[in-house]
Each structure stands twice: as structure tokens, then as C-alpha cells.
Chains A and B, each alone.
Chain A
Amino acid sequence: MLINDFVKFALKSLITQRLRSFLTALGIAVGIASVVLLTSLGEGMHRFVLSEFTQFGTNLIGITPGKSTTTGMSGAVISNVRPLSMNDAKALKRIPRVIAVVPVVQGNAQVEAGKRIRRTTVFGVGANAPEVWQIKVASGQFLPDDDPAAARSFAVLGSKLREEMFGRGNPLGQRIRIGGERFRVAGSMESKGQMLGFDLDDAVYIPAAKALSMFNRESLMEIDLLYAEGGDADEVAKYAADLLIARHGKQDFTITTQEQMLEVLDSVLEILTLAVGALGSISLLVGGVGILTIMTIAVNERTAEIGLLRAMGAGRIQILALFIGEAVVLASIGGLAGLMAGAGGAWILGLFVPALPTHTSWFYVVTSEVLAAIIGLLAGVMPARRAAGLNPVEALRAE
């Protein structure tokens, strides 16, 4: 039997039972649509989170004080831990392939400009911060590359802070107070938006040395390294570790490469998407039961036809194939409809709720269509076996 005729034969009997076929296919369609929609949401979330992380660039290595255990989070056990100093940061700059180093101190302080007062996040950083974090200066300049011991009191405003403090006015050169100390505005930054809850726009950047004294800290909270494109993260990390061990006498710090972080994140998010996809496929199972039911009914109704086909020389295998084929065609049609509904739904959702990231991945689209066909196959096997097992003489008498 030619494959074309095979599909036509299946379609013809499905079309004859329009309503019934429609309802059965609908069951599968709902299942596939929910798989596609849910995985679109999962995948959208996946991409969103990854882009949040990579907006600081991917060639980053972060060093935090305190030896972490397996959790990867810096426990910062204060005792016995030597602080990460400005000199450590300076030394790290000499590692091969490292382009820039940013010491980081973060805190909260009150900013005053004229009569306006606002509490905001203070980032104590180095002159390289824009390059390392991929943030851009909107006007003026970023912090100068001063010797930490004699850092001048310059400040750079995040876009939101600038707006709140100066409105449309030009902040450049203005004097402000941060945590009671006097600073002069050197520049302001372009908007970077939120990053996992941190508002980088509602922030002010000052020299790390100033921030250390402002918050009365001994140690930097973090040192970020930027290495050259194409560099090996693990190799750079090893250099940094060796260097710091030499300086501190032991490993009392934690090094996290962006690559490691992304890998872990990526696999976690992947599992999340798979999990919601699996959730959606429960409704596929229900659709499969629908096909099983309808095919069983079809075999009962068409017993005489099966007898006839056998009399015309169809073997058991051909009968088996015909009925399984019909179930697969039915499921695939439902699957296609579900795909369109799911992908369309995800698209519309993305259109009306832009905050909800959706992304329809081809992998899940193809997988769910194959899944639909497989469900049709499995649901078709039992009734088709019954059809193939019928005694032709008795089947012919069924009318």
C-alpha cells in the first residue's frame, strides 16, 4: 500500500466521523498546546534570567572573601580571614590575560544635593567598572584612575538618582554629600535597568577606597576580573588563586567564574522548563485515553469492513497498520492544532503582558509533535491489535 493512500484512507474515515474526530483531536490539541505554552514560558524565563546575568559580560571572574564550601556562596567566616584589600586588587591586574580589575564595596547611604535628599545604593568601585560591568557613561566621565591611597572625592550618578536629584538640570561639577562626606559629580550613567532586583540606576558610584572608609570596612566585598575574549576562565582563575594564596598564605577567598555560574544556572533552568513541560504532558495522557476510546469504538463499528478487507487480501499486519495509522494521523492533527494554539497563545501573551517573557523553542515544538504521534501510536496499538485479530469469517457476518 502506498503511503499516500494510507494517509488518505485514514483521513477519509476520520472525516466521515467529523465531530467525534474533532473532539478526540481536541483532547490532544489541549495537551500539546499546554506543553508548548508552558515550555514557552519556561524557556522565556530561562533566556530572561540568562540575559540578566550576561548583561555584565561573560568574561568575568568574581572573588569574594571567605572560603566557600560546596554551596558556592561566600560564607565569609570573619575569623581567620584576611581581608581582600585594594592592594590585592592591584596585584590581580598583573595576571596574564586580565584586562581590568574592579574592587567592589557596596552599601547604603544618604545622598544630599542642595535641598534634595535620597537614600540610595552606594557602589565603591574602581575606574574600570564601566568596562567590566558593561555599563555606559551618559555624560561627563567615570571615576578617575586615582591611587587608592589618595583617591579624590568624585561621584558618578546612576540615571535614576540623577533624575531624582537634579531633574533636567546638569549635575556635572555639582557638589553633593554622600553619607555626610562631600563629593563632586564627575558624570552620570546611562540607564541599565534592574538586575535581579538590584536597581543599578538608583545608585551612586564612588572610589572604592572612599567607600571602605565611609562604611568603616576593612575588606572589599568583591573583586571582579575581566579577562580577554577567548581566554580560558579556569586558567585565569587558577592564576588569581595562586597569586592570592601567595599573598594571604592560604585560600581564604572564593573564586567564581561567570562561566561556572552560567552553567549551573543554565542546567537548573533547563530542568525547570522540562518540569513544566512534563506537567503539560499530563493532559496529553488524557488525550491519549480519548484516542484509545474512539479507536476501540471505531473497530467495533467497522468489524464488517475489517472482514471485507481481509477477504480482499489484506493480511493481519496491514489491518494493524491501518488502524494504528488512523490513530497516529488523528493524534498528529490534534498535535498540529495544539502547536499553533500553544505557540500563538505564547506569542499573544508576550504581546499583551510584555513583562512575562515567552520563547517558543523549536526543540519543544518538534518534541511535542513527535510526542503526540507517539501517543497516537500507543493509544492505537490496542484497538488495532483487536482489529487484526478478528476472525474474518465472523467479522464479515457482523453486519
Chain B
Amino acid sequence: MIRLDSIERVFQVGNETVHALNNVSLKISQGEYITIMGPSGSGKSTLLNIIGLLDRPDKGFYILDDVNTTDLNDEQQALVRRHKIGFVFQFFHLVPRLTATENIELPLILTGVEPDERKDRVKIALEDFGLADRSKHRPNQLSGGQRQRVAIARATIMEPRVILADEPTGNLDRTSGKEVIEILEKLNKKGIILILVTHDPDIGNRAVRKISMVDGKILDDTLALEFSK
């Protein structure tokens, strides 16, 4: 469960203060599927970074699974990230010198999981994401869709509670973009919270709960609408 309460995030650019997030409150239940849409600069990525504990709000608090994350120090937040959060990025962020297998393995290595267990888990992931025949390939030997699948496999290898996908199809053609979305939705069906930032209305409309942001504020939340009806 995720609860954001009156979150503010302010950036100082020269003499100007930018309210990247302006009094944002949000409640997300386990297993929800949410898409976030909005113009560029409306604060979507900042919101994801705060939910993913990569960034700290300047005001407000954020509770994740009954823990007030605002009280945690950097190392404690890193541990929460490691076990509960999976990031999927627009530009994949694969380590170029590592193979598909090694990229997927990375979170397990950082955590100190034994090699035998790692091998088994990565093998299953490779098969689940249709990458079994690409296991030894390096990122530059993979198509965009395959790269994003490796990235998703990596984001889910630790069995997180939340997947944060920031324009995951922004760099893909329609077909592989659709493929990636379907994979993410399948993961969501297993009970993982999926928060998806996108510019593509077709993708945005797939979710029951759609959030639209403008100028660091939540303009519209279809869940809230339903409640208010």
C-alpha cells in the first residue's frame, strides 16, 4: 500500500522556484494498475522518483507498507528500494558490458544471493520474458523490445511490490511497445502495483485508474471521480 500525503517537491533553478510537485496526495492499494499522463514537465517523473525513494519530498510524507519512508535514512531507503521497488526506464539503462543474463542478475548480486540460487532464478526469468535464446547477448546485440524485456526481468527479479515504469515504450516501435505493456500488465495481474507514465493515450486508457497531472498537481484521478459519483 502506498500513501502520499501533501507531497511537495521544489527545485531552485537560478532565481526561479519550480514546484515540480505541488501538494500531491495519493493512495494506492495493493495490486492496482495506474497510468499517469500529462504534459512534459508536469511532474510525472518526479512523482515516480519519490514513490521509488530515489528522491525525497520537501514537504509531506510518504507511507509504503505501513512504513513512513520519510523517517528512513539513505541506506535504509536503499534497502527498501532493493526489495520492494522495480524501475523500468525509457532508455532501458542496461549495463553495456554485461550480457542479458548478467544484467538481470545484477540486483541479486548486489543483495548477495548465492550463485546457485541466482542461476535458477535468472533462468526462469529469461524463459518467462522470452529471452532464453538471448541470454548471452549484450545490450547492443538486442532489439529495443528485447532490451526493455531484459530491463523488466531485472526490475522484477527481486519480486518487488511496485513497478515504476517511466515511459517504458517511449523508445520503442508500436509492436514492441504493445508487447512490453502486455508483459507489465501480466505482472500486475500477479498482484504487483504497476504505475505507468506514458504519453500514448491508447496505453493510458488501458488502465482503470488514470491520473493526469498538470503543473505538479493531480488534475484528474478516475478513482477519485468514481468515489465522488
Residues of A within 8 A of B (CB): 1-2, 4-5, 9, 12-13, 16, 304-305, 307-318, 392-393, 396, 399
Contact = CB atoms under 8 A, between A and B. Distances in A.
B168 interface: no
B69 to A, nearest CB: 14
A318 B97 CA distance: 20
Contacts of B112: 1-2, 5
B79 interface: yes
B111 A316 contact: no
A1 to B, nearest CB: 5
A398 to B, nearest CB: 10
A312 to B, nearest CB: 5
A304 B74 CA distance: 19
Interface string B108-136: 01111011000000000000000000000
B93 A313 contact: no
B87 A13 contact: no
A130 to B, nearest CB: 70
A318 B93 contact: no
Given A305-B95, A393-B54, A399-B91, A312 B49 contact: no
A311 B97 contact: no
Contact of B109 (A9, A310, A393): A9
Given A1-B111, A309-B106, 8 more contacts: A1-B112, A2-B115, A311-B54, A312-B107, A314-B78, A316-B74, A393-B55, A396-B93
B90 to A, nearest CB: 10
B81 A313 contact: yes
A318 B106 CA distance: 13
Contacts of A396: 54, 89, 93
A377 B97 CA distance: 24
Contacts of B91: 399
B206 to A, nearest CB: 25
B110 A314 contact: yes
A10 to B, nearest CB: 12
A304 B94 CA distance: 10
Contacts, number: 73
B95 A308 contact: yes
Nearest to A12: B97
Contacts of A393: 49, 54-55
A314 B109 CA distance: 10
A5 B118 CA distance: 12
B16 interface: no
Interface of B: 49, 52, 54-55, 74-75, 78-83, 85, 87, 89, 91, 93, 95, 97-98, 106-107, 109-112, 114-115, 154, 158
A317 B97 CA distance: 23
Contacts of A311: 52, 54, 81, 87, 93
Nearest to A4: B115
Nearest to A1: B112
Contacts of A310: 54, 78, 81
A13 B97 CA distance: 7
A317 B80 CA distance: 15
24 contacts: A1-B109, A2-B114, A4-B115, A5-B112, A12-B98, A304-B93, A305-B95, A307-B93, A309-B110, A310-B54, A310-B81, A311-B81, A311-B93, A312-B107, A313-B80, A313-B82, A313-B107, A313-B158, A314-B110, A315-B74, A315-B78, A318-B110, A393-B49, A396-B89
A313 B76 CA distance: 10
A21 to B, nearest CB: 12
B110 A1 contact: yes
Contact of B81 (A2, A13, A16, A312): A312
Contact of A313 (B49, B79, B115): B79
In the A-B complex, list the 8 residue pairs whose CB atoms are closest, starting with the nearest. Answer: A313-B82, A315-B78, A16-B97, A313-B81, A315-B75, A308-B93, A311-B87, A5-B109
Contacts of B89: 396
Given A5-B109, A9-B109, A393-B54, A316 B93 contact: no
A13 B96 CA distance: 10
A397 B80 CA distance: 22
A313 B97 contact: no
Given A12-B97, A396-B93, A399-B91, A312 B106 contact: yes
Contacts of A308: 93, 95
Contacts of B98: 12
Interface centre among A9, A305, A311, A392 (most CB of B within 10 A): A311
Nearest to A6: B109
Contacts of A4: 115
Contacts of B109: 1-2, 5, 9
A165 to B, nearest CB: 79
Contacts of B75: 315-317
